[in-house]
Chains A and B, each alone.
Chain A
Amino acid sequence: MTNSRSLTRRLILGLGGATLLVWISVPTIAALRLSKVVDDLSDDLLKLTAVFMEPALIDEGKVDSDYIRVPGYTPSFEKYWTVRYSVEVNPRPSPGTPALDGFSQTATDRIYTLKMPDGRILRVAEPLDLRRQSIKNGAALVLVPILVLLPFSIAVWWMVIRRSLAPIKVLQQEIGSRDGCNLSPVGVIDLPAELAPIAASVDRLLERLRTALDRERECAANSAHELRTPIAGSLAQMQRLVAELPQGSAKTRARGIEKALSSLGSRVEKLLQLARAESEIGVAVHAIDLVRAVRLEIEDLGKKPQYAGRLILDVDGCPSLMRKVDVDAFAILLRNLIENALIHGLPGTPATVSVRTEGSIAIANAGPVVPLPDLEEITKRFRRGATGAAGSGLGLHIASMVIKRIGGSLELASPARGRDDGFEAIIRIPP
């Protein structure tokens, strides 16, 4: 309702305004019409009064009745009062009162003048205040109920419009809550006929999107299986061959192939991660404990002989950190940053992973300082700093892509905070 483009607001303002205009116009027109009717009726009555009074005046002495009283009769100037009318016989001419037959009006009275056969003039006057009062009373009869009913009507409009538009709001909330991580059908039942096709279309679209994403995930899983398994078989066979071959050139060559296969495995892993980072991974519906994911990754990496004993986890004061992120996306992000620290850190020195309550996770390693221009470039694809260590040049690029999808930030610092050397990657994920 706060949105000026809200349909409910527009409907209430538009319909309310139009109805209000109609309701104001109706009594106004009625009042004008009433004024005309009252004037006509009053004129007719004024004329009738004069016409019926005329014989009474001719037949003198019969004018005194319940309706016409003669307080003091003088032939030259007589004034008769009725309940409503003032009657003058032989009035004195005055500048504001035309002495003609028929109707005329002064500032205060409506007058009907009748010329009697004996030459006398009968003038019947009605105070205009009486007419105005009649019109006011009539108009009030129409207007007062409208004014009384108006606030109640506005409240009823409001309720009816809100109630009628409630399904739109429900549908809006249902569709609004859908994103890359919640693709369940809208499933809003009892929608009006106008909205049901929209919900059905959205459901069909979500279904297609869900199917597409499932296929993409399945494709990624199948690709992983199809690529990793033959490499694993070849590497294992080559390692068996290395173990069985006697020392010599054949063994040296076999070791070279083993190393190449191992490197191929790492590259396949990075390319699969890159494919995932470029796809749908990111936020999630439910919060996960990032500390648990950090522990799992550290435990897994720590089991690798080349990284054994080189990882330190610092979760001082932060036993858990709940965030709505996709656990696989977060694991890809974290693994790349930790592997980066281990590969490019000084050999034999530890890499520290620190988790803090405000939602930051910092991965720091010892090593030479990375110049600022390099620091700004190393998150680009296949861009590497001045390092001789083995690496694909994709790790930080993947990490920077994933952190964007998660909705967090990645800060790279060199030297690492609180020391003179090294490198530190700090990720911040808002609640």
Chain B
Amino acid sequence: MKLGYYPGCSLHSTAAEYNMATEAVFNALGLELDELPEWNCCGATAGHSTDKFLALALPLRNLVIAEAEQQKELVLPCAACYNLVKGADHYCREGTPEARDANEELKSIMGSAYNGTVHVTHPLEVIMRKEYISKVGAQVKKPLSGLKLAPYYGCLLTRPTYVAFDDVEQPQAMDQLMKLAGADVKRWSYKTDCCGGSLTVPRTDVVYEITKNLVTAAQRAGADAIVTACPLCQMTLETRQKEIQKPIPVFFFTELLGISFAHPEAKKWMKKHIINPIPLLTSLQLL
């Protein structure tokens, strides 16, 4: 089956391994990702923090293109992009005055407006559907035995309620998926705490403090690695582990699925990490 795909800026740069792993895993499950042509950046925090019109118009432009391409479903692996595009979709369906205004402007700029027919989704939500989760078990050739993981959802994947496909306070999707892949999933209290990603450049001092707390908590819970579903969480956690005696790798959930599927490209993804995960994986004979 073909799905519309919006990688977002980071999957073409800072999270290149997430892009490769997601495509590989989806293909293994019989899903094809069809990249949205000429998509634009969702505007991220900068957009919604400074301009109400940009906050809606930038994500909406992508939905207009998805509709023109007859994509019924659009998959967004970045939690920030997913959150903003899903939000724009939600406000259009609700018919708020701001959304109507942004849509009218887009009609004059692009020739068409968004009619609210696209299902905006995240790869984690797609994989958790019955038809695909049943295939995951069959694909696991190298169970992640001995890999102690702390699943980290961060903020924008489960909040606010109109974007949530899982519980807002106690999400479980990644926990279940990683257990299915054979990992030793740890319980911890910080799975939905924000990583502070949007402040990572202008307020690095604050972000060091946040990541220190998160990583220490994961280690206290007994985890040897963190697994995420967002390129900004992954980058922030991997690059801001200051003062941590033994820094731990931060994986994307599709990378770990790919490893459990014994995907031949998996080593290539691992080489892109800033905190080298290869020693941990080879010690568990997973790579």
A, B from the same assembly? no
Chain A residues at the B interface, C-beta cutoff of 8 Å: none
